[in-house]
């Protein structure tokens, strides 16, 4: 009974800590917190709990294989998100540069 309460408490704390970054505004982060979030490990409470449930009852090679697959999938998702993030920023930069060029062209042609 006591271990059930401990597990539920741990799960609740993990869920609350996992959704806290979602509530933060992306533009409101300082340089230090942005840098820390980029270097943050993907091994958090929720992934640990998920890995534990995935390997529950497994042993040896099967357990190691499952953990490697899950970690590889997490790294692939994280890399894909980083690529999409960089592409989005590059697209915004090109859009702003295009607007600047258009303003310059408009000022030259209107003279």
Q: Are residues 36 and 64 in the same domain?
A: no
User: Tokens in use for 36?
Assistant: 């820390």
pLDDT in tens, 16-57: 565 555 444 445 555 666 666 655 555 788 889 999 999 999
Whole-model pTM?
0.50
- Write out the residue range of the structural domain in which residue 70 sits: 47-111
Looking at the fold, whether 58 and 32 belong to one and the same domain comes out as: no
Q: Which of 20, 22, 21 is nearest to 12 (CA)?
A: 20
Tell whether 15 and 58 lie within a shared domain: no
Q: How many domains does the chain divide into?
A: 2
Rounded to whole angstroms, how far apart are CA atoms 62 and 22?
34
Query: Do 75 and 21 sit in the same domain of this protein?
Result: no
């Amino acid at each position: 009974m006591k271990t059930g309460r401990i597990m539920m408490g741990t799960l609740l704390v993990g869920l609350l800590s996992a959704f806290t970054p979602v509530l933060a505004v992306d533009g409101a982060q300082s340089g230090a917190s942005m840098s820390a979030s980029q270097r943050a490990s993907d091994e958090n409470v929720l992934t640990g709990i998920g890995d534990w449930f995935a390997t529950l009852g497994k042993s040896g090679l099967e357990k190691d294989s499952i953990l490697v697959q899950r970690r590889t999938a997490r790294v692939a998702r994280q890399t894909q998100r980083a690529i999409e993030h960089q592409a989005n920023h590059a697209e915004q930069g090109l859009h702003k540069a295009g607007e600047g060029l258009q303003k310059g062209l408009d000022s030259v042609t209107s003279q």
